Amino acid sequence: MQEPLGFDQAEVGLLADRAFFTAKERISRKIRATLEQLHALLRDELASARLLSPPGFDPAKSQFVKGEHLETCPYQYLDYPKHFAGDETFTFRTLVWWGHHVAFAWLLGGQMLPSFKKRLIDRYQELAGRDLELSLAPTLWEWKRGEGYTMPLLSASRAQAAAVLERRPAIKIARFVPLDDPAIREGRVAETGREAFRRLLPLVRE
């Protein structure tokens, strides 16, 4: 059924609100600068980290992406390090999703997946209780959180996490930061991302 083509008063107000679009562009620039700052911090982290990386992994590769339609909301993300090659996935993504949250996540798949699953269980207590969540979605590209979407990694949930992992064709573990978190208001997103990267290191280090 086609939506009515007329605009109601609220829609006309938004359409005519130049200040809204100016603010949106200003916020987008701040997000990009924040992701660039995080890129520099992660480059320093990668210089000293010993990662269990797949063949062909290039620690210098990265990608900045900006879009408007992740379930109707704008988004910007940084993939760094970034490795997508066929079925191989070894990427740390920082996603700023308007209207939702900021997510810092490892995306892992391919021939080394059994090694990452083993590390998650063997090093579970290094990961548990640190505000990290295991994705329950059938795809790496689902970014909602909460019941039915993610499972918090808690000390008492090791067996449950192991059962979830048995069925996973890939792994995504993330730290989610609400948009009203003080770190966002105070300009500490890059530092928060670096800390999330450090918390997740047991999953991917040698």
DSSP string over 149-204: TEEE--GGGHHHHHHHHHT-SSEEEEEEEETTSHHHHTT-HHHHHHHHHHHHHHHH
DSSP label at residue 51: B
Q: How far is CA 184 from CA 24, 90, 173, 193, in A?
A: 16, 27, 21, 11
pLDDT digits (tens, 9 = 90+) for 6-53: 999 999 999 999 999 999 999 999 999 999 999 999 999 999 999 999
pLDDT at 167: 82
pLDDT digits (tens, 9 = 90+) for 158-184: 999 999 998 889 999 999 999 999 999
Residues 6+ apart with CB under 8 A from 109: 87, 88, 89, 140, 169, 170, 171
| 81 upstream amide cis, omega within 30 of 0 | yes
pLDDT at 170: 96
Q: Tell the CATH topology of 9-204.
A: BirA Bifunctional Protein; domain 2 (3.30.930)
pLDDT at 5: 84
pLDDT at 133: 98
pLDDT digits (tens, 9 = 90+) for 71-90: 999 999 999 999 999 899 99
- Over 90: is that where the pLDDT of 2 sits? no
Q: How far is CA 6 from CA 2, 11, 15, in A?
A: 12, 9, 12
pLDDT at 89: 97
Could you give the CA distance from residue 146 to residue 123 in angstroms, rounded to a whole number?
Answer: 23
Dihedral sign of CA atoms 148, 149, 152, 158 in order: positive
Confidence class for position 4, pLDDT limits 50, 70, 90: confident
- Over 80: is that where the pLDDT of 3 sits? no
Name the average pLDDT for the chain: 95
SS3 132: coil
Dihedral sign of CA atoms 197, 199, 201, 204 in order: negative
CA 145 to chain centre: 11
Q: Write down the pTM of the prediction.
A: 0.95
Decide if 155 contacts 129 (C-beta within 8 A). Answer: yes
Q: Which of 189, 202, 199 is nearest to 41 (CA)?
A: 189
pLDDT digits (tens, 9 = 90+) for 114-164: 999 999 999 999 999 999 999 999 999 999 999 999 999 999 999 999 999
pLDDT at 71: 94
**Which sequence spans correspond to the domains of the chain?**
9-204
